[in-house]
Amino acid sequence: RKVFILSQDRFYKVLTAEQKAKALKGQYNFDHPDAFDNDLMRATLKSIVEGKTVEVPTYDFVTHSRLAETTMVYPADVVLLEGILVFYSQDIRDMFHLRLFVDTDSDVRLSRRVLRDMKRGRDLEQILNQYTTFVKPAFEEFCLPTKKYADVIIPRGVDNMVAINLIVQHIQDILNGDICKWQRGAMNGH
């Protein structure tokens, strides 16, 4: 039995020269729905669901470009797609069997972003400017409203070990076939 974690970040669009120049200055909005190649993400997910082996793109966050190298994804029993806007597109959202929204405090989100982007060689002023100009407004306009599509909302993010353990147990039940048995029993009135 296999579980595969797929990040929405792998599906950023290929940027034009002008967009890449903006990105290098922290002036491109990577948190907008249009920043993602939803057609490629949809096709990739469809192939994975159909049990096909697929090549998944690799995105370089330092150069802001899609690399030639890809990652082979083999059929998996459970696929976890994570990302800030995975619920935004209805046709992609409708492919999920279970939707989880990880609700994290805004200060925690900001501090994680600062640490991550500084590791990528960006300076603090640029990170904070991008956060106030693009990230926070995009979260409020595009990401937060998709919370209503979640089957489960996990408050306190990764600090909520009770919720995380319940999700892990649910995935283990799926992998062990217990969920299918339960669903068949429920459909038969048992």
Report yes or no on 181 lying in a domain: no
CA dist 70 → 8, 45, 54, 67, 98 (Å): 14, 15, 9, 7, 27
Using alpha carbons, select from 143, 6, 149, 120 the residue that is nearest to residue 60.
Answer: 120
Report yes or no on 164 lying in a domain: no
181 pLDDT more than 90 = no
Number of domains in the chain: 1
Report yes or no on 121 lying in a domain: yes
Report yes or no on 26 lying in a domain: yes
54 pLDDT more than 60 = yes
Report yes or no on 170 lying in a domain: no
pLDDT digits (tens, 9 = 90+) for 109-165: 999 999 999 998 889 999 999 999 999 999 999 999 999 999 999 999 889 999 999
Range of the domain at 132: 3-159
Report yes or no on 147 lying in a domain: yes
Report yes or no on 57 lying in a domain: yes
pLDDT range class, residue 180, cuts 50, 70, 90: low
For residue 143, how many other CB atoms are within 10 A of its CB? 19
Q: Which residues are catalytic?
A: 9
104 pLDDT more than 80 = yes
Q: Domain containing 78 — which CATH number?
A: 3.40.50.300
pTM: 0.85
For residue 69, how many other CB atoms are within 10 A of its CB? 9
Report yes or no on 168 lying in a domain: no
pLDDT range class, residue 49, cuts 50, 70, 90: confident
Q: What is the per-residue pLDDT for 179?
A: 61
Per the document, the length of the chain is: 190
